Chains A and B, each alone.
Chain A
Amino acid sequence: MTDAPLTIHARQASSSRTLLRKALAQKSFVLGFGLLILFVLVALLAPVLAPHDPYLQNLTARTIPPFWYDKGNWLHPLGTDQLGRDYLSRLLYGARISLLIGSSVVVIAGLIGTTMGLLAGYFGGRIDMLMTFLVTTRLAMPVILVALAVVAIVGSSLWIVILVLGLLKWDRFAVVMRSATQQVRGLDYITAAQASGASTTRIILREVLPNIAPQLIVVATLEAASAILLEAALSFLGLGVQPPLPSWGLMVSEAKAYMFFSFWLIALPGSALALLIFAINLAGDGLRDVISPEKRG
């Protein structure tokens, strides 16, 4: 009886590896995953890659266009913004903000949502009803509206945005983890663990959680993309990350007044944002197709 969990973990480990191997057989997953790794590298290496200080203003070199324009130069490959700050450097540092938002929000929301989903799925009954009620209530309130309101009152900073989004975006974690737990709960090895006298906490953490981890990874991926988009929208509306931080959404917002003559000031951070979301979604969809091929589409 005592070695039953061990064999399960061994099987689980190999299935996680199979998951990655199967995912890597898909071209779209490879593209998305590769791009995502590129973004992470850019974020980590921003200080090395950036040609200039992203915060250094130079009022004599304002709105220089990128190199492919006639007036562009190679000193500032992607030009400068309305305050003369090097745009390439700002874009590179911007990757840090987006990835920090995506990962931190997912950690906070994932902890809340997964706990709720595990409890509701494992115990069912009243706990399940309570969770359904909480999720329904949460879904009824538009995230962006509540986030805007709270940020406007509490004050806006990078960490407040992360905290507010993290406290709002647990709904999908809860829903997916609940149904995944329900599916696993009735399986033989859970009954075996119960019979061997394992505590409920141990069963949930050591038997249930590892087996629903693939679904958790998929939700986390797609929710990270959604959190990054929300931060960008909040910053775009002026109630997210504050200047002079190079948030891509904020950069689009700051360039709005110059869009007539310098549309690239909007196009560059906007495209960077779209490319990052594209990469994350592609990777997430690829993983989902491997886990549940029937949901493909």
Chain B
Amino acid sequence: MLGFILKRLGLALLVALAVSAIAFFLLRLSGDVAVAIAGEGAQQADLELVRKTYGLDRPVIVQYLDWLLKTLSGDFGTSIYFKTSVASLVFDKMPVTLILGLSSLGFALLISIPLGVLAAIYSNTWIDRAALAIAVFGQAMPNFFFALILVMLFSITLRWLPVSGSQTWAHYVMPTIALGYYVAPAFMRLIRAGMIEVLQADYIRTARAKGLSPYAVVITHALRNAAVPVVALTAVQLGFLLGGSVVIETIFALDGLGYLAYQSITYKDFPVMQVVVLLLSVVYVLLTLAADIANAWLDPRIRVE
């Protein structure tokens, strides 16, 4: 088990390092940063000044190592647009994205577990087909379109919820539904498939033969085993959630990392852009690492591979 963890940890570190290099070089190589900072019509002298101020006159590899060391030591630099330290910006906005991510995940599981279980128990009946329809609809719906339908319904027509902002819990309701419904279909399909497989297993027949109630069989025996692959999917889906949060937070002007990412991109605020890309990627790397270790712990067969 320790060997497995160390191996996965090594891979995670390598991936994080590669991501940091990509986050840095991608933005450097795709244009002249000095021009982006100073503006299109900047004079040569202004460009020279910008290059000196931001250290852009040094070799790129030196700039990267310098940036990497500073980032590792917690110095994320200063935002060009917001004029404040990137670290304080990022940490101010992190809780919003964290709340949104967790509530969306919760919402997704809340609808996908019951629907997936019901669809498996009553497979090939109208219940199964209805659950499938909900999943198919969710997968086809562009999340920004679904978000705007929610706004039309709950904010404009019913006047129940605020359109944008992040001050109260009510501001999180629509973003949670929009983002959660976006990732729910994948969970639903996996839970349904897992449950159908598990319900045919011998130990379920034994449990039934023992005279356990159908409820106990499904909840305590079947669902627990069908949940194993869900753990792995949760990590992958959290990656989707982080990406989707850029769109959803922007629509609802929810002041989190996704909205910050969008703002930094439209304002060409390179220091912020780099850190947000790096941060969201590292969060994803850590989550998949945690999921891998959790899976290896749940299912010893994985450790041997």
Contacts and interface: CB of A to CB of B under 8 A. Distances in A.
A275 interface: yes
Nearest to B285: A140
A249 B144 contact: yes
Nearest to B194: A297
Contacts of A273: 142, 145
B156 A260 contact: yes
Contacts of B76: none
A148 interface: yes
Interface string A115-156: 000000000000000000100110111111110111011100
A145 B243 contact: yes
Contacts of B145: 252, 266, 270-271, 273-274
Interface in B236-295: 236, 239, 242-244, 246-247, 250, 261-262, 265-266, 268, 273, 276-277, 280-282, 284-285, 288
Contact of A140 (B15, B36, B149): B15
B136 A281 contact: yes
B26 A274 contact: no
B26 A256 contact: no
A232 B276 CA distance: 23
A193 to B, nearest CB: 29
A282 B139 CA distance: 10
A8 interface: no
B243 A252 contact: no
Nearest to B281: A140
A236 B250 CA distance: 11
B36 A297 contact: no
Contacts of A144: 243-244, 246-247
A271 B145 CA distance: 8
A11 B190 CA distance: 33
B193 interface: yes
Among B23, B30, B285, B288, the one with the most A-chain Cβ atoms within 10 Å of its Cβ is B30
Query: Looking at chain A's contact residues, is the secondary structure mostly helix, strand, loop, or mixed?
Result: helix
B239 to A, nearest CB: 7
Contacts of A143: 243
B18 A137 contact: yes
A233 interface: yes
Interface string B168-190: 00000000000000000000011
Nearest to A132: B11
Nearest to B36: A153
Contacts of A252: 142, 144-145, 148
Contact of A150 (B26, B137, B276): B26
A263 interface: yes
Interface of B is mostly: helix
Contact of B144 (A236, A239, A263, A281): A236
Interface in B19-62: 19, 22-23, 26-27, 30-31, 36
Given A149-B265, A237-B247, A297 B144 contact: no
Nearest to A260: B156
B142 A232 contact: yes
B69 interface: no
Contact of B141 (A274, A295, A296): A274
A237 B11 contact: no
B152 interface: yes
Contacts of A237: 246-247, 250, 262
Bin the interface of chain B by size: 35 or more
Interface string A14-33: 00000000000000000000
B104 interface: no
Interface string A233-270: 10011110000000001001000100110010011001
Nearest to B276: A145
B86 interface: no
B151 interface: yes
Contact of B142 (A145, A239, A277): A277
A140 B289 CA distance: 11
Interface in B181-227: 189-190, 192-193, 196
B143 interface: yes
B6 interface: no
B265 A136 contact: no
Contacts of B193: 295-297
Interface in A48-92: none
A189 interface: no
Contacts of A270: 142, 145, 148-149
A165 interface: no
From A142, A232, A239, A270, residue with most partner B Cβ within 10 Å: A142
A229 interface: yes
Contacts of B189: 297
Interface of B: 11, 14-16, 18-19, 22-23, 26-27, 30-31, 36, 136-137, 139-145, 148-149, 151-152, 156, 189-190, 192-193, 196, 236, 239, 242-244, 246-247, 250, 261-262, 265-266, 268, 273, 276-277, 280-282, 284-285, 288
20 contacts: A133-B14, A136-B15, A142-B239, A142-B242, A142-B246, A148-B246, A152-B268, A232-B142, A233-B143, A237-B250, A249-B142, A256-B148, A266-B148, A267-B149, A274-B141, A274-B142, A275-B140, A278-B137, A281-B140, A282-B136
- Kindly list the 5 A-B residue pairs having the minimum CB-CB distance in the complex, ordered from nearest: A142-B243, A297-B193, A270-B145, A278-B140, A153-B30
Given A266-B152, A270-B142, 18 more contacts: A133-B15, A139-B284, A140-B15, A142-B281, A142-B284, A145-B261, A148-B262, A149-B273, A150-B26, A154-B30, A232-B144, A236-B247, A237-B250, A237-B262, A252-B145, A256-B148, A270-B148, A281-B139
